[in-house]
Chain A
Amino acid sequence: MSALPHLLKKEFRQIFRNKAMLPIIFVLPIVQLLILVNAADFEIRNINLIVEDLDHSRTSRELYGQFEASPYFRVVGAPATTREGLDRLDHDKATVFLRIPAHFERTLLATGTGSLALDINGIDGQAAGLSSFYITRIVADLNRNIVVRERKGALQTAGRVQVKERYWYNPDLEYKNTMLPGLMVLLVTMVGLFLTSMNVVREMEIGTIEQINVTPIRKWEFIVGKLFPFWVIGLFELALGLTIGVLVYRIPVQGNVGLLFAFAGIYLTVILGMGLLVSTRTQTQQQAMFVSWFFMVIFLLMSGLFTPIENMPTWAQNITLFNPIAYFIDVIRLVLLKGSTFSDVSRHFGIILLFAIAVNVLAVLSYRKRAA
């Protein structure tokens, strides 16, 4: 007769009595999905801009007007001197400082080229890049207008290439549709990794493992008893996340949810195995928490959730090949947004299955060594 059902009964009892775990299981996902999704917005609006116009021409006023009209910028002043402008940048009164040099319009019309000076606070690299991108777009619009005006409309349509984008699978480039699935992965992973490693170490920390080891309970029964509840809870978190996503954010569900849960089921065994591995290397819940956090941060930053993997240097891209989170984020996006089927993500399934086997073999070996 197996002791496993009794172990599971005991584990679930303990989890539902644990005042630290319950909020992590039920409150964390709701807070994360309701607050973080709104906060993790990559669009930048209302960038503080100051303009020093030394040209005072029609073109420079037009440029100024376009910045004022742009939703991305807020013109917060016109410094009298360049020094004053740079000072304001220094004191964080402005993020972008645009200088239109004297004779800008005259040079532009005479030679066909004009230059603008742009100083951007680069502390937040991403914001700086976006600012530069928005400014380039505004200047490009200006160019078009000048061409149209000077040629008196003669060449208005001739020889112009127009780019018309269509974004597939996420037509409005709704960032929530990209972020939310990723945050669900984050949630499932955190709950799986943190809670498992803490739960296994707990028995060592409070000494109950001594008593357990002098019973007929087999090691595999103990491990399965410890991990299985969090496998169930992990899948519950995914279901909760999807429900919030659909009801609150109306994210599209193009693919088969069953496929997603099948992948999550295997993925969770990888994460639980890692939790077990962490627990075999630590003595207290606190240590387990810190070690798990360390891995979590690395996996997260290299997962493609915040920075596209394609933007990373080759060596970093190679590391992400070993990051289970990256595969799950890929799969959840493909299934939810694109409606991918099993044959589309079969490579992901194969790799995650290999991970599951490798991590768990390692964890069990490590657990045995410690127990000996």
Chain B
Amino acid sequence: MIRFDQVVKRYGNTTAVDRATFTVERGELFGLIGPDGAGKSSMMRMLVTLLLPDDGTITLDGHDVVADYRFVRRNVGYMPGTFSLYTDLTVEENLQFFANVFGTTIQENYHLIAEIYEQLAPFKDRRAGALSGGMKQKLALCCALIHRPLALILDEPTTGVDAVSRAEFWSMLRRLTTTGITIVVSTPYLEEAALCDRVGLINDGRLMQIDTIGGIVASYDHALWRIDADNTRTALQVLREHPAARAAYLYRSSVMMSTDQELDPEHLTHELLRSGVTGARVSRAQPDIEDRFMDLMLEHA
């Protein structure tokens, strides 16, 4: 449905997107995951014809997004990172406007948004600017869906949204894919990767890995250790200098250390104690997506 082929975007001397290549299948929920400034928005903006790629090609359902931009504009629903509806129009007027400019009506495609719009219906005469964050987001999703797009492109829809609304939003997306709609969603939250069919991990303009969350975690091929200590900060300093460490970093309140060979946890505890780190508990840890992401960043550095 969506195909990126060696896509490059530069801003002056910085390369925002570096030879991005991936495909998204019909009905797939695809996540672009990476920190701020990784190039997620640039990729999405090229896909929805707001930005021209410097090199490479992007197609939507076989149509080139540059040459056939009008096809793309008719057939994608885009939700930008910032709320971009008319705050001085009511909920219903916004929805009606976006339906009408696509040559359709709310009634015609109501079934697509029914479930989401039901929650908005009590506020339909309220100005969009007066809605709560979660409601604004639902309205934006409705407006992006009302013309029955082939693909939905959502730029960080869950950033700055509370945990409950985020969970709710993801389950809405999941249900939407069952209608055959393709969804590309970007997020800076690695834990949201588990909610996608497949994800692309991006850092510094480069797609480092594209796979299912299972595949991504399984590709972690180092030993991972969790170290808790009385003073985590000192422990981190010491472990960074440790000869066996590939990398050591903080994760939640623990220090994570990856090594290429097996370690004797007791031996490490003693070593830490000698360096002045008391109360150290060393255990083998199961890697998750965060660990794989740190690992990938190290490989690409």
Which residues of A are in contact with B by a Cβ distance under 8 Å? 1, 3, 6-7, 9-10, 13-14, 17-18, 206-208, 210-211, 213-217, 372
Contacts and interface: CB of A to CB of B under 8 A. Distances in A.
A18 B129 CA distance: 13
24 contacts: A3-B101, A7-B101, A10-B86, A10-B93, A14-B88, A17-B88, A18-B88, A206-B87, A207-B82, A207-B84, A208-B84, A210-B50, A210-B78, A210-B84, A211-B78, A211-B85, A211-B98, A211-B143, A213-B73, A214-B50, A214-B73, A216-B70, A216-B73, A216-B103
Interface in B65-91: 70, 73-74, 76, 78, 80, 82-89
A217 B103 CA distance: 10
A17 B130 CA distance: 14
A214 B101 contact: no
A10 B95 CA distance: 12
B220 interface: no
Nearest to A18: B88
B84 A211 contact: yes
A207 B73 contact: no
Contacts of A9: 97
Nearest to A218: B70
Given A7-B101, A210-B50, A216 B85 contact: no
Contacts of A207: 80, 82-84
Which of B70, B93, B97 has most A Cβ within 10 Å?
A: B97
B76 A13 contact: no
Interface of B: 48-50, 52, 70, 73-74, 76, 78, 80, 82-89, 93, 97-98, 100-103, 143
A214 B48 contact: yes
A208 B86 contact: yes
A282 to B, nearest CB: 19
Contacts of B103: 1, 3, 216
Contact of B101 (A17, A18, A208, A215): A215
Contacts of A214: 48-50, 73, 76, 78
A14 B101 contact: no
Given A210-B50, A216-B103, A10 B89 contact: yes
Which of B52, B82, B84, B103 has most A Cβ within 10 Å?
A: B84
A10 B88 CA distance: 10
B101 A213 contact: no
A202 to B, nearest CB: 10
Given A7-B101, A14-B89, 19 more contacts: A9-B97, A13-B93, A14-B88, A17-B88, A206-B84, A208-B86, A210-B84, A211-B78, A211-B84, A211-B85, A211-B98, A211-B143, A213-B49, A213-B50, A214-B49, A214-B73, A215-B73, A216-B70, A216-B74
- List the 10 shortest-distance A-B pairs measured between CB atoms, nearest first: A6-B100, A3-B101, A214-B78, A211-B84, A207-B84, A210-B80, A1-B103, A214-B48, A17-B88, A208-B84
B102 A215 contact: yes
A13 B70 contact: no
Contacts of B97: 6, 9-10
A210 B87 CA distance: 15
A311 B84 CA distance: 52
A328 to B, nearest CB: 32
Contacts of B48: 214
Contacts of A18: 88
Contacts of A14: 86, 88-89
Contacts of B78: 210-211, 214
A211 B153 CA distance: 12
A3 B100 contact: yes
Nearest to A208: B84
B96 to A, nearest CB: 8
B101 A216 contact: yes
Given A207-B82, A210-B50, A210-B80, A215 B88 contact: no
Contacts of B93: 10, 13
A217 B93 CA distance: 17
A10 to B, nearest CB: 5
A356 B83 CA distance: 36
Contacts of A13: 89, 93
B4 to A, nearest CB: 18
Which of A9, A14, A214 has most B Cβ within 10 Å?
A: A214
Contacts of A210: 50, 78, 80, 84
A188 B64 CA distance: 46
B243 to A, nearest CB: 51
A210 to B, nearest CB: 5
A1 B52 CA distance: 27
Nearest to A5: B100
